[in-house]
């Protein structure tokens, strides 16, 4: 087990990381999460080009930051949000636990999860390393066959063999509940998403359809989306990453919306889209008017494609050291509809209403700076984009006629979304 952990950072526009700070584990917890403190290194603070890893959580000072004592009234957490963003989530932790011979719900010190993807091409512009002086890299040039072998090994509960260690690092370098991993295909930086044995619907293809439709609904989204039939492992989805610049070693810093507005896991369960609009208006965001309109459009789209779990880690912003800029959309994942009514997470209105209905979007339109006619125009554009390009996108997602017919009117454009009352 590593006793020391250091945060390395690609400063905006640079191609090599620098040591920026140190992590300090504690024996305390916050909401069930181990508390880890952070402190900038003196050599980083002394740089002329130094920028905060995120603001206002980690301003450029010599202070030892305790995330249970956050700035500006933000929610107390165990791990500062920008670092939580680069830590593995449910699937990644399951992979790391398997590496250590632990059960899938086992627990390790938080820094061990952060270090599991050290030196890989993990998401964003932050890495966590065991050394302050030397940045160690690991080969992430794994194959799809190796990722599929890792997937099967982890699901079976077996110990991960040494030859699959690079694949395990790639799985720990990307967040999310569902099985996924990082993949390099020649000069393309990609993410591969797998099916899960508990899926009762073709969830990989459902997500592929919603992601492919998003641009037709006026939502910039991940590109290069492909659905591939692997045979015994089912369908997988591949897509291109937007936190990398082609033909460059530069990395773009990404921060989840949850971290950008300073909410904890529990805090985001109590928030609403109206509160999100307030936070953007009052925060360091570029082009606030366009950002607010885009968030509103994504809310409308989520309702119309049954993306009920549009939590704030599934929206992100680029951070350039001064401002946040909304990233393309990702993880727009329809949830299987087993009944007519449905709720969004987070809530929509200021008073906590969460029914997955367009009437609530209309109620919060003003919070996003939209007049009623502007909100109606956005709703109409989203509906038209889905309907007009439905068959084309379903073909690309390898959906059968029966599958697409079962999805339209259920996950997509469910009548409940158009109802006038819950």
Start-to-end CA span in the chain (Å): 52
Quick one: pLDDT band at residue 240, thresholds 50, 70, 90? very high
What is the DSSP code (8-state) at residue 322?
Answer: S
Residue 184 CA from chain centroid, whole number:
19
pLDDT at residue 213, rounded to an integer: 98
Q: What is the pTM of this model?
A: 0.94
Q: Report the helix count and the strand count for the chain, using DSSP H and E.
A: 14, 12
pLDDT at 298 over 70: yes
Q: Is 401 exposed, middle or buried (0-12, 13-18, 19+ CB in 10 A)?
A: exposed
Q: Are residues 219 and 321 in the same domain?
A: no
Q: Are 192 and 204 in contact (CB under 8 A)?
A: no
Q: Are residues 412 and 279 in the same domain?
A: yes
pLDDT at 408 over 60: yes
Q: Is residue 396 part of a domain?
A: yes
HEC letters along 262-273: CCCHHHHHCCEH
Q: Are 326 and 229 in contact (CB under 8 A)?
A: no
* Averaged pLDDT, 291-309: 96
In 3D space, the residue among 200, 193, 164 whose CA is nearest the CA of residue 176 turns out to be 193
Strand-by-strand arrangement of the 64-65 sheet: 64-65, 33-40, 18-30, 5-9, 126-129
Q: Are residues 118 and 158 in the same domain?
A: no
Q: How many CB atoms lie within 10 A of CB 406?
A: 14
CA 148, 154, 155, 157 torsion-angle sign: positive
Q: Is residue 405 part of a domain?
A: yes
Q: Are residues 265 and 393 in the same domain?
A: yes
Single out the residue in 207, 240, 273 at which a domain terminates: 240
pLDDT at 418 over 80: yes
Q: Is residue 277 part of a domain?
A: yes
pLDDT at 248 over 90: no
Q: Are residues 261 and 232 in the same domain?
A: no
Single out the residue in 240, 262, 293 at which a domain terminates: 240
In 3D space, the residue among 155, 151, 183 whose CA is nearest the CA of residue 164 turns out to be 151
The first and second tokens of residue 202, run together, are: 């073709």
The overall average pLDDT reported for the chain is 93
Using alpha carbons, list the distances in angstroms from residue 23 to 14, 58, 132, 302, 311.
23, 13, 11, 37, 27
CA 407, 412, 417, 419 torsion-angle sign: negative
Single out the residue in 181, 212, 240 at which a domain terminates: 240
Q: Is residue 137 part of a domain?
A: no
Q: Are residues 188 and 75 in the same domain?
A: no
Q: Are residues 78 and 152 in the same domain?
A: no
pLDDT at residue 2, rounded to an integer: 55
Q: Is residue 375 part of a domain?
A: yes
Over residues 105-163, the pLDDT tens digits come to 889 999 999 999 999 899 999 999 999 999 999 877 899 999 999 999 999 988 899 99
Q: Are residues 345 and 284 in the same domain?
A: yes
Helix (H, G, I), strand (E, B) or coil at 244: strand
Q: Are 35 and 68 in contact (CB under 8 A)?
A: yes
Over residues 42-94, the pLDDT tens digits come to 999 999 999 999 988 899 999 999 999 987 778 889 999 999 999 998 899 99
Q: Is residue 135 part of a domain?
A: no
Render 373-406 in DSSP notation, one character per residue.
Answer: HHHHHHHHHHHHHHHHHHHHHHHHTT--HHHHHH
Percent of all residues in the chain with a pLDDT value above 90, rounded to a whole number: 77
* Averaged pLDDT, 315-323: 95
pLDDT at residue 171, rounded to an integer: 93
| 267 vs 216, residue with greater confidence | 216
CA 100, 105, 107, 111 torsion-angle sign: positive
Residue written as token pair 């109620």: 363
Q: Are residues 295 and 209 in the same domain?
A: no
Q: Are residues 22 and 124 in the same domain?
A: yes
Distance CA 106, CA 120 (A): 23
Q: Are residues 231 and 277 in the same domain?
A: no
In 3D space, the residue among 190, 248, 251 whose CA is nearest the CA of residue 223 turns out to be 190
**Any idea what the CATH number is for the domain that residue 205 is in?**
3.30.200
- Structural domain span for residue 73: 5-89+96-128
**Any idea what the CATH number is for the domain that residue 275 is in?**
1.10.1070
Q: Is residue 346 part of a domain?
A: yes
3-state helix vs strand vs coil in the chain, percent to 5: 35, 20, 50
Q: Is residue 394 part of a domain?
A: yes
Residue written as token pair 């727009």: 332
Count of structural domains within the chain: 3
Distance CA 87, CA 96 (A): 11
Percent of all residues in the chain with a pLDDT value above 70, rounded to a whole number: 99
Q: Are 16 and 249 in contact (CB under 8 A)?
A: yes
Which of 11-15, 30-34, 212-216 is modeled with the greatest confidence?
212-216
Quick one: pLDDT band at residue 1, thresholds 50, 70, 90? low
Long-range CB contacts for residues 149-156, cutoff 8 Å, separation at least 24: 150/95, 150/181, 151/179, 151/181, 151/194, 151/233, 152/233, 153/98, 154/94, 154/95, 154/98, 154/179, 155/179, 155/197
Helix (H) / strand (E) containing 155: helix 144-156
Q: Are residues 280 and 402 in the same domain?
A: yes
């Amino acid at each position: 087990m590593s006793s020391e952990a250091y945060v390395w950072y690609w400063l905006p526009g640079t191609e090599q990381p620098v040591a920026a700070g140190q992590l300090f584990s504690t024996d305390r917890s916050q909401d069930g999460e181990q508390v880890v403190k952070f402190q900038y290194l003196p050599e980083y603070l002394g740089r002329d080009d130094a920028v905060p890893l995120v603001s206002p959580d980690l301003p450029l000072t010599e202070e030892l930051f305790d995330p249970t004592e956050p700035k500006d009234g933000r929610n107390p957490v165990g791990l500062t949000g920008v670092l939580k963003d680069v830590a593995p989530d449910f699937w990644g932790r399951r992979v790391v636990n398997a590496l250590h011979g632990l059960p899938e719900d086992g627990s390790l010190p938080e820094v061990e999860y952060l270090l599991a993807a050290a030196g890989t091409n993990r998401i964003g512009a932050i890495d966590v390393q065991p050394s302050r002086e030397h940045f160690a890299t690991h080969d992430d040039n794994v194959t799809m066959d190796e990722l599929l072998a890792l997937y099967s090994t982890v699901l079976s509960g077996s110990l991960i063999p040494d030859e699959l260690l690079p694949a395990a690092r790639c799985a720990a370098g990307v967040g999310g509940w569902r099985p996924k991993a990082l993949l390099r295909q020649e000069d393309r930086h990609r993410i591969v998403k797998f099916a899960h044995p508990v899926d009762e619907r073709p969830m990989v293809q459902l997500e592929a359809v919603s992601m492919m439709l998003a641009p037709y609904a006026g939502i910039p989204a991940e590109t290069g989306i492909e659905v591939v039939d692997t045979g015994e492992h089912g369908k997988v989805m591949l897509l291109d990453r937007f936190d990398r610049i082609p033909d460059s070693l530069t990395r773009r810093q990404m921060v989840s919306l949850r971290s950008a507005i300073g909410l904890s896991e529990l805090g985001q369960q109590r928030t609403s889209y109206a509160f999100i609009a307030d936070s953007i208006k009052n925060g360091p965001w570029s082009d606030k008017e366009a950002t607010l309109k885009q968030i509103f459009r994504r809310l409308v789209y989520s309702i119309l494609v049954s993306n009920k779990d549009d939590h704030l880690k599934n929206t992100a912003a680029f951070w350039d050291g001064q401002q946040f800029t909304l990233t393309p959309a990702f993880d727009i994942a329809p949830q299987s509809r087993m009944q007519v009514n449905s709720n969004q997470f987070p809530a929509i209105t200021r008073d906590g209403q969460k029914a997955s209905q367009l009437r609530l979007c209309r109620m919060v339109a003003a919070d996003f700076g939209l007049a009623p006619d502007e909100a109606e125009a956005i709703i109409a554009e989203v509906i038209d984009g889905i309907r007009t390009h439905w068959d084309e996108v379903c073909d690309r997602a390898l959906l059968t006629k029966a599958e697409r017919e079962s999805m339209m009117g259920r996950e997509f454009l469910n009548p409940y979304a158009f109802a006038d009352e819950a």
